[in-house]
Structure 1
């Protein structure tokens, strides 16, 4: 059902008319990305391949049954002798040293069953840990894709808010231009003021063109991250806000060290390396296999039966010396295990740093947001006072435009800081491995 729903959404977007907006909620966008993102699909295929590897290793416990049909013609004394013997046609008549051309059709059914082979057990352990590792890698990729969608979704929201800010700035600039024209017509203003405000308006209109284009690009990037058809630019239906943290810094660090999927992936790789060392050491042990076969031989036709035979047996094989090859294989496996252990230790330290950094950046974002909110209020009051003075011919055009520029800048900074706070808050959960659990709920 999930794949059908995802496919329906893809068709929904691909079939949309050009210029017709389609909106997605945050949860809907993330769910769609989790079904259609190419990198996530690649991780899923890797997980499936590892699962098949486990099945392959388990198959070695089962008996191997082989059917074989052979045909041969020879005048070799020994081989001709054995063919006749297998066919039940041996006699003392004839020249054993110079036999005539002899043919044989041999049909055989062979069974081989491992009784003791340490390598089978330990290869299975390696394959199982590889599957665990790929499973954690898949879950980590899900976290990363969801966080990318969140960031892209937030980028659309920020771009849309910035367009609103610029549109308000254009509206304010046009009002200033109207007042300047009225003052000039009444003979109490200067043509310079009207021209200066016109130049200011042109600058703001250029910013609006860029802002609208940035919004279109942000929507295209959102469509790409989600995995929609190329050129699809979905709109957003939700307003993303920051969630309150439910855990303190210490709890987040503990959660990251115990629950982050990238750390669990490396832990599984370490367990796989340990199993690899055991596998290398297992080559010192002997192997014991049981075997059985049934054979039919015929002189004239395949699958014929001039004579038949069977055999049961067991085989013990113990390699006593191999030129120190196994010793080197054990050393190589141990070095690989130590390398993974070192990577894991460094990754754990890095995870702690990431959580602490995310917490500090979140506190920074909170303070920056508070400052930006105060700045907008101050700038709005400043513009109100300057406009009042300008109407009474107590302020110049330059002062009016400076105040308006400060207000525009404060509003734009507030938009950035609001988005930055939401992203910083989400990054805290992402660094602790809790993004899908806490943010997308």
Structure 2
């Protein structure tokens, strides 16, 4: 009714344009909405479209796919849990003081596709919708738990400096919240960072801070391939010397295991650089950034299944795990209501903990075993044969002598009357 909020973001997540379209009832301005989306895609060289999985999400996805966009533009459904909480938060008001809450929410959904962690750290942990007791535990401890996890991610994987929010950057060693804000402001004014050295141009970011933070800040597709790794700028000359000794480029050294095997690390040991440091550098060259994510796959729900009323028992559907609890896992199958896979239906074998077989955001194949439209409950199964344990149902067979129905059991009063009658006789 109030329309679909549209925002255009650049590669760094900066808001370029916002608008509203009305492709659904009651307005149903399909042609006008389609023309606007096409024009915006061309004007801003759009590479991907993120659609929130809330109200009319599936219908909007079908509409966008039907308007004839360039095949190179990917259309992805994004989990919008907590986006409305962010849009009304102090963080969002500070970032977009003159924008409506709906615009802020749309920006959050778009950024979640670009750099999910950078956006999720802005939201109160209990509003992310992951876990079982997030509303019951002490909130300060919950926040501390989230902080510990984010710090662990930052230290092991690093932060993409060209897409990270100031909230995520503030977790990096040496960066305060004010320095993180300065980095984002510099990026918005001057465009993406092309190398780590340009970070020194940021206001109040001196050599000491650079020394602490540079190793955790990544720049993909940088001029120097080492800027995408955990190798600190101070160690660049060592890597360059290694490449020179082998007669190859730094890029070749990073991509070829054969070349790295030819290196004798003892040759590069100095008073300042020991063998453990050189071993760490070599392991980082083997897998720059240690990014645990696989190659991005476009996920799509089953066409024609948009509401709980479309579900039928026995249907096999693709889904995404949205939450894992002690009693099972919740799976989004694209009908605005997550279905529950009970722990007894998570696997063909017995499991004690759902976390043994499923994780949040995992893509799974499920079978519908129960649908209760009135109560909005969906029962799902990940078993290969979910109906194997149920008794076979078929046409009733004629009863034989052994199948004679049981007579209704007499009540206590009737039994007493029978005893009295026998006694009198």
What TM-score bracket applies, with the shorter chain setting the length?
under 0.3
Q: Per chain length, whose mean CA-contact separation is higher, i.e. which structure has more relative contact order (CA < 8 Å, sep 6+)?
A: 1
Q: Which has the higher helix share?
A: 1
TM-score, with structure 1 as normaliser: 0.19
Larger Rg: 1
The two structures have a TM-score, normalised by structure 2, of 0.20
